[in-house]
Structure 1
C-alpha cells in the first residue's frame, strides 16, 4: 500500500518537484500552500508522515507542529528548513518535530527519512484522544468525559498502545511485547487487565458506542 503523506510548502516549484519524486516512489502526497491549510488537512485526514516547511505564510511550521501535538496527533513530522543552527533544531524538537532536513536536500535522502518515519508513531505527542476518552501521557492519567479513570500502570500502558495504534487492531503478541517486553506474563494476566480496563472505560457496558469502536482495535484472540 502506498504511503499517504502531506507536504506543507509554500514554494510551488519545490513542492511540485517533491510531489513528482514521491509519486515515482509510489507515495501519495497531498499539498498545502500555507500553515493554516496544512493544519486543517492534518486534523481531517490520516497521514503516515507530514513534511513541514518551517517558514510558512499564515502559520509557521513550528506553530503547526505545536498545535497538532496539543491536539494529540502523533503523526511523525519531518521539518524542512534553510536554518541549520543547533538552536533552530532544538526549538523544532521542543515544538514536536521528529526529524530535520536542511534545504537544499537530496531527494533520495528525503525518501529514506520519510520511509524511516513511516514505520513508527511520533513520541512527541503528550496527549491521546478518542471521542471523549483522553490519555495524558505526562500525568499518566486517563479520563472519559472528564472523569478520571482508576487505572493501574499496566492498564495505562495497554491503553496507550491501543490508542497509538488506532484505527488498526493490535495482536495479542504485539500487545504483550509492547507492555511487558521479554518479561512475559502468565496466560491469564492480559485477559484480566483487558477486562478491568474495559470495565473502567465503559462501566462494564460493552454495548456502548465507545466499546463498539474502541475494542475493535484488539484482535478477537486477545479478548
Structure 2
C-alpha cells in the first residue's frame, strides 16, 4: 500500500533525511518548512498521516494540529519534538495529536508508527463534515445546512459512526456493535433508531443522504457529489 504523508519540519537536513528514508519504505512525503505552509498544505491535500514538529516558525505544531481538528480534518497526526516530558506529551494530545515521538528517533520507528497510523482515521477531530451535514463534537450539535438536527443520544452515536465511515458502507452488525457492544437489544431496535435519524437528516430534503445498501448495510452519501 502506498502511503502519502505531510512532513512539517524546519530542520532541512533532518527533513531531507526523513524524506529519503521514507521513499525506500514506499512512503511519499510532501515537506513544509513552517507551520503556516504546513497548515495550508494539510487543508488542500488528502494525506494518510501528518508528521508535525512542535517548534516551527510562524505557527507552532500544536497550533497547526489544533486548527486542523477544529476544521474537521481527521488525518492522524504524529508529533515530533525535542522535549519528551509528560507535560509536553499531554499538551500534544490536548491539541489533538494521535501519537508522539521524541527526538532523536530511529527512522525505522518513525516509519513503523506512520504505517500504523495510516490504517485509520483520527478520533481527535472536533468536527465531522460530509457535504452539507456537520457534527460539532464539542458543542454536541449537528446540522444539515442551516437546520439544527434534534437527535437522541442513540441517533447521535449512529450518525457519528456513519459520518466517520462515509463514504464506506457500514454493516448492520457493525452499527449494532458500535451502539450496544455485546449487549444488543431486540432485533428491530436498529431499524427504529435509523428511522428516527432519517427523519431528522433527510425528512425535509429531496436527496436522502442516509441510504440502504441491500444485503450490506447503510451508507452516508454526500449529496453535493451525487
The corresponding residue for 1:222 is: 217
The corresponding residue for 2:75 is: 75
Secondary structure of 1:90 counterpart: helix
Deviations 1:153-193 (A, max 9, x none): 11111111111123333233322222222123444332332
Judge which range, 40-49 or 179-188, deviates more. Answer: 179-188
The TM-score, its normalising length taken from structure 1, stands at 0.86
Q: Measure the CA separation in 2 of the matches of 1:193 and 1:81.
A: 45
Deviations 1:54-87 (A, max 9, x none): 1112211111011011112122111011122222
- How many Å apart are 1:47 and its aligned residue? 1.9
The corresponding residue for 2:85 is: 85
Deviations 1:23-51 (A, max 9, x none): 22222322222211211121122222111
Q: Measure the CA separation in 2 of the matches of 1:96 and 1:106.
A: 24
- How many Å apart are 1:204 and its aligned residue? 5.1
The corresponding residue for 1:119 is: 119
The corresponding residue for 2:58 is: 58
Higher helix content, 1 or 2: 1
The TM-score, its normalising length taken from structure 2, stands at 0.85
When the two chains are superposed, the root-mean-square deviation of aligned CA atoms in Å is 2.1
The corresponding residue for 2:194 is: 194
Q: 1:79 to 1:163 in 2, by over 3 A?
A: same
Aligned length: 217
Moved segments of 4+, more than 6 Å: none
The corresponding residue for 1:106 is: 106
Judge which range, 185-194 or 46-55, deviates more. Answer: 185-194
Higher strand content, 1 or 2: 2
Q: 1:79 to 1:196 in 2, by over 3 A?
A: same
